């Protein structure tokens, strides 16, 4: 598949931005109490969100989960609004109601985020149903983990989406762990994508650290969806380089495994490719990095300078009137 160089540069940018974002958060977490709540990052997994979202149009919808930052940044969410929400400030995209775990950004069509493992899939079915019902040329992507593929909701959602040929792409980010459990400890299924056949839909395994491969697969399944051919189950093989959350010491992840996967980092992989093709210079990459770091620094300053919501604001936003 021929991928325009601008797309490739866009993907490099969103990966670099995501990485700067998560590296900064990881660093901030070393100071106890600076950022509230659990901190769940996708360091090393950025190619999935970046490759997927680069293949989408702004009007396409994503439904994401507890490990959402890189998906949302790739979909175009404002780093300031995200960071402020992660800090639980009133300027956050959800006014501090959500915090880091269920960031909802309807402005970029990322309206449904759930930290209930597996819950995103039925929600995505609903979103895709609305798209089909209105005969829109849009699709829905649902991001979920390998652990989520063991929840009953996965099954019900895939069956219904297949039955109704809904324009939804189920993107399983298989990072080899669900909490402290290795993939082989939570299922005997060789690949999550093997389950697709049980719903009579295409299942595909893709190298989730190869952003171009992710982009290509998603583009194809998006076309299928738009053509009325129904959902695809796309499994992106990747690796959770950090612990489940920043307070997880990763005691169960072999050091050698972590090291080897760090070596497969998707960012140098794409930048080397672009360099080799002469599509980018080292200076441009350094610029991107500097710009990303500046944006994240700015987001942090914004978040830190923002006020917490007033206590009574807790009572708002329950009801629509």
Partner 1 sequence: MQQLGMGQAVNQALREEMRRNSEVFIAGEGVGVGIHVNPMFPTTGLLEEFGSKRVRDTPVSEAAIAGLAVGAAEAGLRPVVEIMFNPFITLASDMIVNHAAKLRYLSGGKSSFPLVIRVKTGAGFGAGCQHSHNLEAWLAHCPGLKVVMPATPADAKGLLKSAIRDDNPVIFIEDMMLYFAPGPVPEEEYLTPIGKADVKRPGGDVSLVTWGNMLGVAFKAAERLAQEGVEVEVVDLRSLVPLDTETILESVRKTGRLVVLHEATRTGGFAGEVSAVVMEHAFGELKAPLRRVTGPDIPVPASPTLERFYIPDEEQVVTAVREIL
CA distances from 63 to 4, 108, 148, 220 (A): 26, 11, 14, 19
Question: In the complex, what is the shortest distance from the CB of residue 144 to partner 1, in angstroms, rounded to a whole number?
Answer: 11
Q: Which of 44, 49, 118, 145 binds Mg ion (CB under 5 A)?
A: 145
- Of all residues in the shown chain, the one whose CB is closest to Mg ion is 145
Q: How far is the CB of 57 from partner 1 (least distance, A)?
A: 16
Our CB check for ligand TPP shows the closer of 177 and 199 to be 177
Cα radius of gyration (the chain): 19
Q: Which residues bind ligand TPP (CB under 6 A)?
A: 66-67, 115-117, 145-148, 175, 177-179, 240, 244
What residues numbered 170-189 form the site for Mg ion, per CB under 5 A? 175, 178
CB of 198 closer than 8 Å to CB of 191: no
Quick one: 287 or 313, whose CB is closer to partner 1? Answer: 313
Binding partner of 115, given Mg ion, ligand TPP, a copy of itself, none, CB within 5-8 angstroms per partner class: ligand TPP
- 197 contact choice in a copy of itself, partner 1, ligand TPP, none (CB below 5 to 8 Å, kind-dependent): a copy of itself
Report, in Å, the least distance between residue 270 CB and partner 1.
30
Joined tokens for residue 52: 């997927």
Place of tokens 């998560």: 22
The contacts of residue 251 (CB under 8 Å, 6+ apart) are none
CB of 175 to ligand TPP, least distance (A): 5
Kindly state the smallest distance separating residue 230's Cβ from a copy of itself, in Å. 8
By the 8 A CB rule, do 182 and 21 touch?
A: no
Cβ nearer to partner 1, comparing 103 with 288: 103
Residue 67 contact partner, candidates a copy of itself, ligand TPP, partner 1, none, CB within 5 to 8 A by sort of partner = ligand TPP
The rounded distance, in Å, linking the Cα atoms of 98 and 214 is 29
118/153 Cα distance (integer angstroms)? 6
Q: Is 97 left (phi over 0), alpha (psi -120 to 50) or beta?
A: alpha
Q: Under the rule (CB under 8 A), what is the footprint of a copy of itself?
A: 150-156, 159, 162-163, 185-190, 194-201
With CB under 5 A as the contact rule, which of the stretches 125-133, 138-146, 197-205, 282-290 interacts with Mg ion?
138-146
Q: Smallest gap, in angstroms, from Cβ of residue 53 to ligand TPP?
A: 17
Residues in Cβ contact with 46 at an 8 Å cutoff, skipping those fewer than 6 apart: 14, 15, 18, 19, 70, 74, 211, 266, 267
Instruction: Judge whether 47 and 266 are in contact, CB under 8 Å.
Output: yes
Residue pair 279/5 in contact (Cβ under 8 Å)? The answer is yes
Positions in the binding site for Mg ion (CB under 5 A) = 145-146, 175, 178
């Amino acid at each position: 598949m021929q991928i325009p160089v601008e797309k490739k540069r866009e993907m490099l940018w969103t990966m670099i931005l995501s990485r700067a974002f998560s590296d900064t958060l990881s660093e901030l977490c070393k100071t106890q109490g600076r950022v509230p709540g659990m901190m769940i990052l996708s360091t090393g997994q950025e190619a999935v969100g970046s490759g997927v979202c680069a293949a989408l149009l702004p009007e396409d919808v994503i439904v994401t989960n507890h490990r959402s930052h890189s998906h949302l940044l790739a979909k175009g969410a404002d780093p300031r609004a995200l960071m402020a929400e992660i800090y639980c400030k009133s300027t956050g995209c959800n006014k501090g109601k959500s915090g880091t775990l269920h960031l909802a950004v309807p402005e970029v069509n990322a309206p449904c985020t759930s930290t209930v493992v597996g819950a995103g899939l039925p929600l995505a079915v609903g979103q895709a149903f609305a798209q089909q019902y209105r005969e829109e040329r849009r699709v829905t992507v649902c991001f979920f983990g390998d652990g989520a593929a063991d929840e009953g909701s996965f099954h019900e959602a895939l069956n219904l989406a297949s039955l109704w040929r809904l324009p939804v792409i189920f993107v399983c980010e298989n990072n080899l762990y669900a909490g402290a459990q290795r993939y082989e400890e939570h299922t005997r299924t060789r690949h999550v994508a093997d389950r697709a056949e049980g719903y009579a839909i295409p299942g595909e395994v893709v190298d989730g650290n190869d952003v171009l491969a992710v982009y290509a697969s998603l583009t194809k399944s998006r076309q299928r969806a738009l053509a009325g051919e129904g959902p695809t189950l796309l499994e992106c093989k990747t690796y959770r380089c950090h612990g489940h959350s920043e307070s997880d010491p990763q005691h169960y992840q072999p050091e050698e495994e972590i090291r080897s996967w760090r070596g497969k980092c998707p960012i140098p992989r794409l930048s080397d490719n672009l360099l080799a093709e002469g599509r980018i210079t080292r200076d441009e990459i350094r610029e991107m990095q500097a710009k990303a770091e500046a944006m994240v620094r700015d987001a942090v300053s914004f978040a830190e300078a923002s006020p917490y919501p007033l206590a009574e604001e807790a009572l708002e936003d329950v009801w629509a009137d």
